[in-house]
Amino acid sequence: MHYTGQIYRPPMESETPLLQITSGCSHNRCAFCTMYEGTPFTVSRMEDIEADLEELRRTYGGGVRRLFLLNGDSFALPTKKLLKIAEMIHARFSHIETISCYASIRNIGQKSDEDLKELRAAGYNDLYIGIESGWAPALAQMRKGFTREEADVQLDRLKNAGIRYGALLMFGLGGKGNGERSARETANMLKRNMPFVISAVPTAIAEGSELERMRESGEYTPPTERELLEEELLLLQLLEPEQGCYFFGRHPYNTVPVAGYLSEKGRMIQRLSRALSDLPEEFLESTRQRGHL
């Protein structure tokens, strides 16, 4: 396989065969992110993609139903190219149902409604989007490359095209004292078009990141453990108990691991509430160091 650069895939895709079509991230500017440091955004050669598809077929057989396209935002590729890659996939895997990948709000904005419908018809679905927060000032400060209004518009367009998405969120992104605002705005944003999965982790301050510099200069003050848990709790309380949406808060950075469908969110709410009343005061008022995203 022609795997190059740093390889990331969502935990939910741990069983899914991975096909690399891009390296790095086309944005690569988010203040907290060092994921693709030293790896410029590049597009894989079609002959490499073709060879990797052959290898995947030899390894997994022709019955594969789901593929995940690497890397940071493969949905940045032009529609024509994505359709061509889908055609190559379907030619080898006749049972394929879902072609999933990371995508950004900007990637979606660069595609027409017609493009999105064509991509959906070709199998593209379950796009994982690093929305992080619905609170506009946090998006701007973290240089996410889109505004809250743009996120609303593009999530509506995805819904109209019938493309599901997974929301990747970061608690504490707004810094100390802004958890409640962030939870309320994030809930408002998600309610417009509920994702099929929400993956939520506390904000990490990676060594060498712009966010580390912002912390040193006082532009960003990390929230306490209490604030992080309260933000998560409030978000869960505000979201509707949707059957089809799975909440994943079990990253090693989540102090209190919770996961489950929102339809059974009571169990997660109870666990977080209990942690907030049972954990030692000293711990709740502390700020835990989390180093990598």
CB of 89 to ligand SF4, least distance (A): 23
CA atoms within 13 A on the CB side of 68: 21
Does position 25 bind ligand SF4 by CB under 6 A?
Answer: yes
Q: Which of 225-247 are b and which e, b meaning 16 or more Cβ less than 10 Å from the residue's Cβ? A: bbbbbbbbbbbbeebeebeebbb
Say how far apart CA 164 and CA 44 lie, in whole Å.
25
CA distances from 216 to 19, 52, 222 (A): 39, 44, 11
Calculate the alpha carbon distances from 271 to 190, 192, 280, 286 in Å.
23, 27, 15, 20
* Span of 29-37, 53-61, 170-178, 182-190 interacting with ligand SF4 by CB under 6 A: 29-37
Contact with ligand SF4 (CB under 6 A) among 104, 133, 203, 224:
104
Interaction between residue 69 and ligand SF4 (CB under 6 A): no
Tokens of 281: 């005061």
30 near ligand SF4, rule: CB under 6 A: yes
Tell me the window of 30-38, 91-99, 148-156, 180-188 that interacts with ligand SF4 (CB under 6 A). 30-38
User: If residue 117 lies in a helix (H) or strand (E), which one and from where to where?
Assistant: helix 113-121
Interaction between residue 141 and ligand SF4 (CB under 6 A)? no
Residue 93 or 220: the one with the smaller Cβ distance to ligand SF4 is 220
Instruction: Classify 196 as helix, strand or coil.
Output: coil
35 or 89: whose CB is closer to ligand SF4?
A: 35
Residue 132's DSSP bridge partners are: 169
CB-nearer residue toward ligand SF4: 74 or 255: 74
Straight-line distance from the first to the last Cα atom of the chain, in angstroms, rounded to the nearest whole number: 25
Q: Name the residue nearer to ligand SF4 (CB basis): 36 or 248.
A: 36
Nearest distance in Å: CB 64, ligand SF4: 26
Q: Does 72 bind ligand SF4 (CB under 6 A)?
A: yes
Whether the ω angle into residue 71 lies within 30 degrees of 0, i.e. cis, is yes
Pick 130 or 174: Cβ nearer ligand SF4:
130
Residues 35-64, interacting with ligand SF4 (CB under 6 A): 35-36
Contact status: 245 vs ligand SF4 (CB under 6 A):
no
Q: Which stretch binds ligand SF4 (CB under 6 A): 33-41, 90-98, 147-155, 233-241?
A: 33-41
Q: How far is the CB of 262 from ligand SF4 (least distance, A)?
A: 24
DSSP label at residue 245: -
For the chain, percent helix, then strand, then coil, each to nearest 5?
Answer: 45, 15, 40
Query: Using CB under 6 A, which of the segments 23-31, 158-166, 171-179, 250-258 binds ligand SF4?
Result: 23-31
Give the separation between CA 160 and CA 48, rounded to whole angstroms: 34
Q: Total number of residues binding ligand SF4 (CB under 6 A)?
A: 11
**Interface residue list for ligand SF4 (CB under 6 A):** 25, 27-30, 33, 35-36, 72, 104, 130
